[in-house]
Amino acid sequence: MTSAPDRAGALRRDAGNPLRDRRSLFTIPEGTVYLDGNSLGAIPRAVPGRVAQVLTEEWGTSLISAWNSADWIGLPARVGAKVGRLLGLPADTVWVSDSTSVSLFKTMVAACRLRPGRDVVVVERATFPTDGYIAASVARMLGLELRWADSDDLTASLDDRVALACLTHVDFRTGAAFDLPAVTAAVHEVGALMLWDLCHTAGAVPVDLVGPGVDFAVGCSYKYLNGGPGSPAFMYAAPRHHDALDQPLSGWMGHARPFDMELGYEPVRGVGRLASGTPPVIALSALEAALEVFDGVDPADLRATSLSLTDYFIELLDARLGAEVEVLTPRGHDRRGSQVSLRHQHAYGVVQALIARGVVGDFRPPDVARFGFAPLYITHADVYDAVEHLVQVVRDREFLREQYAVRNPVT
């Protein structure tokens, strides 16, 4: 006979977690179980001091000379190298400077220009809305067809007209992950290029881009990378494409000699061709400090912890709530990101009632409650406590309380 789950068991799991000491590198409000790192990561303790240093010592004292003395000018490449190491990429293949939307726009246009004579861009229907909006804009600008693919049968949308396929590696609603190598191979089989959105991947789900020959990737840094609200996104371009990159926002920071102030545009060599305007120094400095929490972390441990946390959450849900909530996230490890999504008729009320109890997740319409498990700072004890609260919310029907009847525009 198997004993019922208890909190002592959760603590035993935490004692064996190779990442158990990383939580101390973050500021987590007392009494909060933060399961929304898939929307906005918790703040690493090193960030406020680093930002203060930029403001008071660098900008405040050195003024414009800090572009050189503090190497502000090198931030996009330097931070890109840090992100690249997390993804197993060469240091000179990742650039960090713009928002996710701008980064998607630039890489999509550059990719499509590498396939002249092809007139289709493929995006899956379940994609994050921004990806679809940007793809539609790129298609209008370049005179291409936007083709919507079925996530369950992507190959049906591929043919020799396709210039680019842009897919989200981990689905933002369900947490389901694509088979990246297999999909990339299918896209290359028809002669098209592959762009992966890694917003719900980077920092939680190790992924190989080099082996499968991925052409481009874009990802935000404010989720599992903990860069802060609105922190800049990263762009990856395979080295074989660098010399031919022709992106649409050819600002002066992408010029081979920006301070010569020439009228004609000559792009810099390498991934710096993706640069446009002046980099966001304060945001990049905060992100650079935030990424230190990954120093010395084995990607295998990151993934093992993520799977252990999500497995435990699902195990407790099955034991405590049964059919009262539907687990949308795949149970198979090869198809799961680092979140667990639940379907419930009153999902919005469920999430709001949990937030009132100090358990922070989020809601996605029409009926999905999402819970993200950032492996560096979420513990098995957090998981146990979250399910305890969820059981009370569902069993006592707290989700029907009047204050949860009107949706908050964010959560």
User: What mean pLDDT comes out for the span 269-289?
Assistant: 97
Q: Residue 180: pLDDT above 60? A: yes
Q: Residue 89: pLDDT above 60? A: yes
Whole-prediction pTM value? Answer: 0.96
Q: Is 167 helix (H, G, I), strand (E, B) or coil?
A: strand
Do residues 311 and 281 share a domain? no
Per annotation, catalytic residue among 45, 92, 119, 128? 128
pLDDT in tens, 37-81: 999 999 999 999 999 999 999 999 999 999 999 999 999 999 999
Whether residue 63 lies inside any domain: the answer is no
The domain boundary residue, chosen from 294, 325, 346: 294
Whether residue 66 lies inside any domain: the answer is no
Amino acid identity of residue 306, one-letter, is S
Whether residue 108 lies inside any domain: the answer is yes
Do residues 135 and 110 share a domain? yes
Do residues 110 and 147 share a domain? yes
Amino acid identity of residue 139, one-letter, is A
Identify the helix (H) or strand (E) that includes residue 162.
strand 162-168
Enter the tokens of residue 304: 């093992």
- Annotation marks residue 370 as catalytic: yes
Per annotation, catalytic residue among 147, 336, 357, 370? 370
Per annotation, catalytic residue among 98, 171, 197, 362? 197
| Domain assignment of residue 279, given as a range | 71-294
Report the domain count for the chain. Answer: 2
The three-point CA angle 233-239-241 to 5° equals 90
CATH number for 385: 3.90.1150.10
Do residues 114 and 256 share a domain? yes
The domain boundary residue, chosen from 294, 319, 354: 294
- Annotation marks residue 128 as catalytic: yes
Instruction: Place 408 in a pLDDT band, splitting at 50, 70 and 90.
Output: confident
Instruction: Place 260 in a pLDDT band, splitting at 50, 70 and 90.
Output: very high
- Annotation marks residue 197 as catalytic: yes
Report the distance separating Cα 103 and Cα 196, nearest Å: 12
Whether residue 61 lies inside any domain: the answer is no
Do residues 259 and 119 share a domain? yes
pLDDT computed for residue 405 by the predictor: 81
The phi, psi pair for 362, rounded to 5°, reads -150, 175
Amino acid identity of residue 367, one-letter, is D
Do residues 124 and 273 share a domain? yes
The phi, psi pair for 211, rounded to 5°, reads -55, -50
Do residues 186 and 124 share a domain? yes
Per annotation, catalytic residue among 222, 224, 348, 363? 222
Q: Residue 1: pLDDT above 60? A: no
Measuring CA to CA, which residue among 198, 237, 203 is closest to residue 219? 198
pLDDT computed for residue 4 by the predictor: 66
Do residues 199 and 320 share a domain? no
CATH number for 116: 3.40.640.10
Report the distance separating Cα 329 and Cα 342, nearest Å: 8
The domain boundary residue, chosen from 294, 327, 354: 294
User: What mean pLDDT comes out for the span 323-343?
Assistant: 97
Spatial contact of 280 and 74, defined as CB atoms under 8 Å apart: no
